[in-house]
Every structure is written in structure tokens, then in C-alpha cells.
Amino acid sequence: MTDAFCARILLASALVASVITPLPLPGQMPPPPTDQTPTSAPAPAQTAVPAREAPGAIYQDAMQPLEVVRASLDNWSEAELAALAAGMQKAREACDAAKPDEYQGEDLYDLARLCAFGQDWSPANDAAQKYMASRTQAHETQAMAISVRALAHIGAIDLARATTFGLLQFPYDADVAYTVRFMKDTLEHAGNPEALALARDEHAAIVQALSQPGPLKAAGSDAAISTGVLYAFAMDLAFFNRFAGKSDAAAAAAADADAALQKLTAIPAEDQREIDRVRTQYHLLDTHLPNVHPTRTLQSASAKPRIDPNFGAATVLVLFSDWCIECRELVKTMTKFAAANRNAPIHVYGLLYSEDSPTGPQDADKVLHAENEKRLADTPTLEVPAQIAQTFGVVDYPLGVVLDRSGTIRFIGVLPSDAFEEKGYISKVLERMSPRSSSKAN
């Protein structure tokens, strides 16, 4: 398989994921050790504390690495990528041959989905818009969701944003929440302040949904959002306000989300852990970097394993587990970014940790370690203890943490794959923190 073919397939991944299944976790936030959570944080809803961890919670932990791997096409085999490419090509050819005016009702909606799967965004939007104009209500919300994604992919961001605002006039369900989350992430990653405005407009509806027991379901599809993930979505407004330096507004938004949880009589253990992780990340903002205790650097055998205590104009950390293949790919552009900004100086470090079996390293672990040794050699990557995942409440990868010149955490969140590209998300974060710190950043 050629590099060009791989690149084309990887570019298609975001679309396929967003159209076929809602992706819950861009920007999802994490938990620290319990002693790091301020005592002023609102108490969670009362839940029974079992004598031992519930099997369901253990299952969620066990499945998490697999789900993260599945979510990225970087980890798919060549056979899987080829099958996906064949399906997308067939969908595109069928979309190109179709004439939306010849379809109506369910067929018109299916045409919009077909074109979206084929990454044929303009026809996908045309079919979705025609379906919406027909006033057929069976899939109206889903058609608007397709239109939002299509418009975003063809660069019509203002229209995508306006369509998303229109979607908020509909009953707030899982399809609406996933689409709004997609648009918030799209705007945030582009450094567009309208992400904050959209989160503000959504806030009352998502807080109301959060106060209801059980997962948030969709009226016209099988989509559902658990309480823990919905809390992460609801906390976007608090995070965006903190990123914008609006501490009072952030505190009010966080208090609203916590008050909604107080109305629930019980919260499943896995959801409570998700909530704790979000709170951990939120409370890490504007605090000094905890001690991460690096044990080794992969940059050179003679280098000291440490984060420079002189944080420069800014310091960027990228946390990931040793099984995260897509994270290794991000380290490549991270390393180039670090070299390009060494004179600013903007320091950049990967923080790699292992999740070995409690009984000791297994054969699979040894293979992972050997591969990381080879792939990450000569990069600014530090090996750190597994406890780092709890310290920063890691739930998804790669997790970015950005520090200002004093070592204060000013940003924390999951990074997109192009975060370190020229004018990518990290440059947007640095620019928002301080125009001076980013003036030399690519």
C-alpha cells in the first residue's frame, strides 16, 4: 500500500467515524488522585460503594485500550483499510451517479448517508438539505447532522455553525448532542471563539438532559450518551471559559453541571469514574505542574530524564500509553515542532507510560516496549510511571497539557492528529495563551 493511499484513507477516517458512529471523546477530560481534588468541589450524587470493584467497571477498563485502538484508522490493517477504501469508492460512484431530485422520503435520506460515507460532501449536503426542506420528520435531526458535517468538511464553517445553532431548536437528544460536540470541537481546534458561543447556547439544554436518569437517547436513531460522557460534554463550557480567562463564568458553568448530577439518585460506577476524570482535569487548570517523576529519556543515552524547570515561553506535554500507535505517529510532528521552536523557547515532551500486567511484563508488553524503543528513539520523549494516568485523569489519547512560562497549566485536553502541524491546534492554544509565546511558533 502506498503512502499516498494510506494518507487518503486516514484523511477519510474522521468522516467515516462521524457519519457511521458518533465519536464521544474528542477533548474528553480526566481524573487525578483523590487528594488533588479541591475540597470546595461539589459532592457527587450519592452512590452505593461496593466492597469490590464491579465487574462492569472492570470490563470498561479492560476494553478501553481496544476501543481507543479501534477508533483510529492508524491502527487498522492494510486489509481493513483496503476494504474501507473499496466501500467508500463504491459509495462515491453511486453518489455521483444519483440525482437527488429523483428521490424523496427515506430514499433521499439514505442518499445523504451514502454520499457522506463516500466523502462526497457537497452532494451529501444537497441531499440532506432537500430532505430537510421536504418537512419529512422521520430523520430530520439526522439529516441536519449530516449537513453540519458536510458543510464543515467543505469549509463552509459559518453555514455549519448556523445549521448547528438551528439544530438546538429541536428537542435535545443524543443526535443533537453528538452533532453539537462535533461542531464545538471543529471550532475549538480551529481557534474559533464561536466554540464558546455554541457551548453557551447549548448549556441549558445539556444541563437539563444531564439531570435526567439514565443515558440520553436519540429519538430517530440508536445513538445514546451515558451520564459520564454527557457530563464531559456539559463541562465544555467550563473548560472553554477557563481557556478564555473567564474564571467566574467557568465556575458557574461547572456548578450547573454538578448541580444537575445532584438530582440523580444513583450514578453507575463507570460513569462516576468518567465524571471524576473530568473534574480532575478541570481542577488542574491554573495549578502548577505536578511532579511527573520521569525515569528515562529516549532522546539520548546521556540526557537527564527531566522536564526543564525553566519552562521557557511555554511547555507542551503529550501523555500517552505505550500501546497507542497513533500517539507514536503524533510524536513525529511533535518532534519537528519542538525543533522549529527551540529558540522561542517552546519546550515539548512526550510522556510515555506502560500498562504492564500486574504479574509482570508479558510477551506482548515486550514487543510494545521494543517497538517504542525503535520508533521513539531520538525524540523528546520521557518514560514516566503509570501513575501519571491518574494524576492527569487520562481517559483518551493523546492528552495534551500546555504550561505557561511559570509552569502553570493553562490547557488540558485530547489533541487531534494534526495538532503540531503548521498553524495546528497547539499553535492556536499558544496564541490564545499569549500572543508573545506563539509569535515564533509554527
Tens digits of residue pLDDT in 274-327: 999 999 999 999 999 999 999 999 998 888 999 999 999 999 999 999 888 888
Predicted pLDDT of residue 63: 56
Rounded to two decimals, the pTM is 0.80
For the 21-43+88-284 domain, the top CATH level (class) is mainly alpha
DSSP codes, 349-373: EEEEE----TT---HHHHHHHHHHH
- The domain limits of the chain are 21-43+88-284, 296-438
Look up residue 408 and give its amino acid: T
The Cα–Cα gap between 279 and 32 comes to 8
In the numeric block, the cell 487520562 is attached to 394
Q: What pLDDT digit, counting tens, does each position of 87-121 carry?
A: 899 999 999 998 888 888 989 999 999 999 999 99
> Cell numbers 521552536 correspond to what residue?
341
Q: Fold for domain 296-438? A: Glutaredoxin (3.40.30)
Question: At CB < 8 A and 24+ separation, what contacts does 34-41 make?
Answer: 36/280, 36/283, 36/284, 36/290, 36/391, 37/276, 37/279, 37/280, 37/283, 38/283, 41/258, 41/279, 41/283
Mean pLDDT score, 258-287: 96
- What span, in angstroms and rounded, lies between the C-alpha atoms of 328 and 326? 5
**Do 442 and 427 touch, CB atoms closer than 8 A?**
yes
9 backbone dihedrals φ, ψ, rounded to 5°: -65, -45
- Category of 41 on φ-ψ map: left (φ > 0), alpha (ψ -120 to 50) or beta: beta
Q: What is the mean pLDDT of residues 241-247?
A: 95
Which range has the worst mean pLDDT, 23-32, 218-227, 415-424? Answer: 23-32
Structure confidence at residue 300 (pLDDT): 87
Residue 199: HSE in the Cβ half-sphere, 13 Å Cα cutoff: 29
Q: Same CATH topology for 21-43+88-284 and 296-438? A: no
Percent of the chain clearing pLDDT 90 (strictly above): 63
Question: What is the per-residue pLDDT for 135?
Answer: 82
